[in-house]
């Protein structure tokens, strides 16, 4: 395929070349995502058994969001990418990508919806299995190391910085997290794509459900409500000083209401350790780093911003983000090693 003369394509050549690569059918673990779909199906079934009404609610709401919001945005974004990468024939290239990769992308998207619904459903039932217990240890450990609560140190930052990280922590994070798996869904089959998809679902299932259940915790923002006292009584008023911070307190009340009424709701479930917000951006940073230094630096800068935001908002202790970093790196490297070994074994058979 000829080199593009488009400046955007040249500046992001690593990503562009991988995205423009043709689809080839090869005997490789990189092209096999069926085990991932099997894992998602098993976890989804378990979540449905735990709470069929909540799981059904989550899936139906997410389908509505995909059809009503993500699909139109995806079409506009996809055609914009087509114009940027192939300005002379964008429509032809766009339709070719849809034809050759649409089925695979659709399968990953369905798995994403089931996985996300399973995460929210299972998180909401963590306290039914393991009562919240870990916060005293996490808060005491944080204060012993830092000399005070981490959120107080974060709030020493300028107001403009606090407002910025609060904004990044909300819609930009959601777009970035969702965008990562959707971009990977539309990439041609490769070991990197498989590594990311495997790592994505292992992150939300292992860290977001299994580890979260084993270390059941609510975070600073809910500490006083669940453990009594006024240890974090200054947190909510500090957030209220920023207009965007009031949204954080409002969402906390939304989660608390769902917990108390046992009602299903999008994004339901209270869990602090480890931080899925931080885990998601670490995973995307590792992914982007494989496309070049510039994208990698941007990914890690955003990850650092979300780590800071997780503390600033009071959703998490500092340990929650550190644990996410370690956990995601272990998952990423482990999946890479397993895929390398699988490909080596297949090569030895041929």
pLDDT score of 142 more than 90:
yes
- Structure confidence at residue 348 (pLDDT): 56
Let me know: does 82 contact 91? Beta carbons within 8 Å: yes
Of 47, 53, 40, the C-alpha closest to 265 is 53
Q: What is the pLDDT of residue 30?
A: 43
Is 1 within a domain?
no
Phi, psi angles (nearest 5°) of residue 137: -65, -45
What domain count does the chain have?
1
Specify if 240 maps to a domain: yes
**Residue 19 clears pLDDT 90, i.e. is over it:** no
Q: Show the domain range for 173.
A: 7-21+35-344
Q: How far apart are CA 322 and CA 274, in angstroms?
A: 8
Residue 29 has pLDDT above 50, yes or no: no
Q: Tens digit of pLDDT for each residue in 261-319?
A: 888 888 888 999 999 999 999 999 999 999 888 999 999 999 999 999 999 999 999 99
**pLDDT for the residue 246:** 85
Answer yes or no: is 29 within a domain. Answer: no
Higher pLDDT, 64 or 9: 64
pLDDT at position 44 over 90: yes
Per DSSP, the residues of 241-300 read TSTTHHHHHHHHHHHHHHHHHT---TT-----SS-HHHHHHHHHHHHHHTT-HHHHHHHH
Segment of 26-30, 109-113, 249-253, 331-335 carrying the highest mean pLDDT: 331-335
pLDDT surpassing 50 at residue 4: no
Contact assessment for residue 95 and residue 24, using Cβ atoms and an 8 Å cutoff: no
Q: Is residue 263 part of a domain?
A: yes
Structure tokens belonging to residue 134: 């870990």
114-132 pLDDT, tens digit per residue, is 999 999 999 999 999 999 9
Query: Per the structure block, which two tokens stand in for 124?
Result: 């909401």
Distance (Å, whole) CA 41 – CA 30: 20
Residue 69 in any domain: the answer is yes
How far is 17 from 22, CA to CA, in rounded Å?
10
C-alpha closest to that of 319 among 88, 177, 150, 159: 150
First-to-final CA distance of the chain:
29
Would you say residue 349 lies in a domain? Answer: no
Share of the chain above pLDDT 70, in %: 89
Looking at the domain assignment, is residue 28 inside a domain? no
| Local structure of residue 229 (DSSP, 8 states) | S
**319 part of a folded domain:** yes
Query: What residue has token string 């217990």?
Result: 133
Average pLDDT over residues 247-258: 91
């Amino acid at each position: 395929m000829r080199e593009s003369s488009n400046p955007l394509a040249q500046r992001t050549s690593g990503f562009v070349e991988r995205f423009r690569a043709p689809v080839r059918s090869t005997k490789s673990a990189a092209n096999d995502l069926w085990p991932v779909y099997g894992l998602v199906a098993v976890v989804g079934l378990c979540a449905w058994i735990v709470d069929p009404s909540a799981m059904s609610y989550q899936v139906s709401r997410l389908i509505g969001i995909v059809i009503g919001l993500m699909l139109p945005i995806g079409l506009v974004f996809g055609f914009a990418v087509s114009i940027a990468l192939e300005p002379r024939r964008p429509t032809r290239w766009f339709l070719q990508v849809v034809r050759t990769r649409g089925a695979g992308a659709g399968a990953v998207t369905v798995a994403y919806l089931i996985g996300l619904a399973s995460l929210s459903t299972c998180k909401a039932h963590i306290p039914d299995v393991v009562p919240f217990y870990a916060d005293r240890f996490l808060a005491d450990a944080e204060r012993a190391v830092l000399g005070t609560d981490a959120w107080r140190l974060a709030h020493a930052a300028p107001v403009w910085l606090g407002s910025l990280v609060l904004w990044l922590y909300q819609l930009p994070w959601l777009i970035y997290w969702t965008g990562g798996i959707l971009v990977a869904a539309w990439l041609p089959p490769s070991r990197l794509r498989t590594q990311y998809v495997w790592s994505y679902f292992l992150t939300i299932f292992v860290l977001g459900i299994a580890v979260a259940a084993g270390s059941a915790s609510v975070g600073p923002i809910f500490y006083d409500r669940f453990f009594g006292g006024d240890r974090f009584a200054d947190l909510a008023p500090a957030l209220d000083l920023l207009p965007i911070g009031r949204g954080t307190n409002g969402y906390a009340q939304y989660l608390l209401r769902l917990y108390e009424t046992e009602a299903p709701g999008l994004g339901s479930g209270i869990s602090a350790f480890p931080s899925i917000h931080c885990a998601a951006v670490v995973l995307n940073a590792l992914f982007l780093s494989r496309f070049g230094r510039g994208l990698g630096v941007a990914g890690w800068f955003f990850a650092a911003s979300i780590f800071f935001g997780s503390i600033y908002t009071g959703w998490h202790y500092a340990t929650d983000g550190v644990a996410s970093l370690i956990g995601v790196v272990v998952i990423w490297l482990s999946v890479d090693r397993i895929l390398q070994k699988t490909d080596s074994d297949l090569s030895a058979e041929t």
